[in-house]
Amino acid sequence: MKLAFSTLGVPGLPLADVLRLATTHGYHGVELRAHPEEPVHPGIDSSRRADAAAEFKAAGVELLGLAGYARVAAPGDDEPVIEEVRRLLDLARDLGAPFVRVFPGGGTEQSRQEADATAARRLGTAAEYAADLGVRILLETHDSHRTGADAIRILGPVGHRHVGSLWDVMHTWLGGEQPSESYAALSPHLGYVQVKDIASADDTTPLPLGAGVLPLADCVEVLSRHGWDGWLCWEYEKRWYEAAAPLPDLLTAGRDHLARLLNDSA
């Protein structure tokens, strides 16, 4: 498996510095948070897109994916959501990223069935556009659909190879799902896995990998046992927790922890 980290852990950091962190601390790739607060987002022009792609190539670091904020199960009209996904896909194509992340985002004012159907319809529409660009849309286990069992209610009806899953191990755990259950649900669709660690279900402040309660060893073991050979991406949510320790100080230890888990499960 290859290791990456998300720029959510270093909010607003210039891309050159992000890439320097990746090469210095031995990470193979980076997940870019595609938000206007960041240097790279769908609003940048073609020149800046070309520059960003060139920076990745020169650094020898892979762009794992773009973490977007489209909410595909949210109430309302389809077109604004689909257009937001298309803009993410265009940016991914221009940068050479294989994946874009979207959220479920179902609202409390709709039934579970309505949210599932809305998300499946929008993803099915966006899938054809994604296929033309050679990019995959990944639905993250998050918010209204935090477990693998939740996500599969959307992904199953879509049934398109350019729509898959992003397994956030914190949310499936918070949803009461065991890693083996999450993998069984998501594996036919799995794009990559987001790892992290927290103190408890009541305190989700990010911690160094291995310092919290999330079943990272079990997640890596089940992935290894089934021969999955994709990406583990450390999503350290510094953006939302200003008091959390700076990510750059933790990157080497985090890489070493994941390497130990991979070695132990080999």
Please report, in tens digits, the pLDDT of each residue of the chain (266 residues total).
999 999 999 999 999 999 999 999 999 999 999 999 999 999 999 999 999 999 999 999 999 999 999 999 999 999 999 999 999 999 999 999 999 999 999 988 899 999 999 999 999 999 999 999 999 999 999 999 999 999 999 999 999 999 999 999 999 999 999 999 999 999 999 999 999 999 999 999 999 999 999 999 999 999 999 999 999 999 999 999 999 999 999 999 999 999 999 999 87
Q: Give Cα 86 distance to the centre of its chain.
A: 17
d(CA 110, CA 169): 26
Quote the DSSP letter at residue 143.
Answer: T
Identify the pLDDT of residue 207: 98
Q: Where do the domains of the chain lie, and which CATH numbers do they carry? A: 2-265 (3.20.20.150)
Residues in Cβ contact with 206 at an 8 Å cutoff, skipping those fewer than 6 apart? 9, 196, 197, 198, 236, 237, 238, 241, 244
What Å distances lie between residue 36 and 2, 40, 44, CA to CA?
Answer: 28, 8, 9
Cβ contact 190:180 at 8 Å: no
DSSP state of 206: B
Q: Which pTM does this prediction carry?
A: 0.98
Q: Which of 24, 16, 23, 27 is nearest to 235 (CA)?
A: 27
Give the total residue count for the chain: 266
Type and span of the H or E element at 195: strand 190-195
Spatial contact of 130 and 89, defined as CB atoms under 8 Å apart: yes
Structure tokens at 70: 């489209």
Q: Which pLDDT does position 109 carry in this prediction?
A: 87
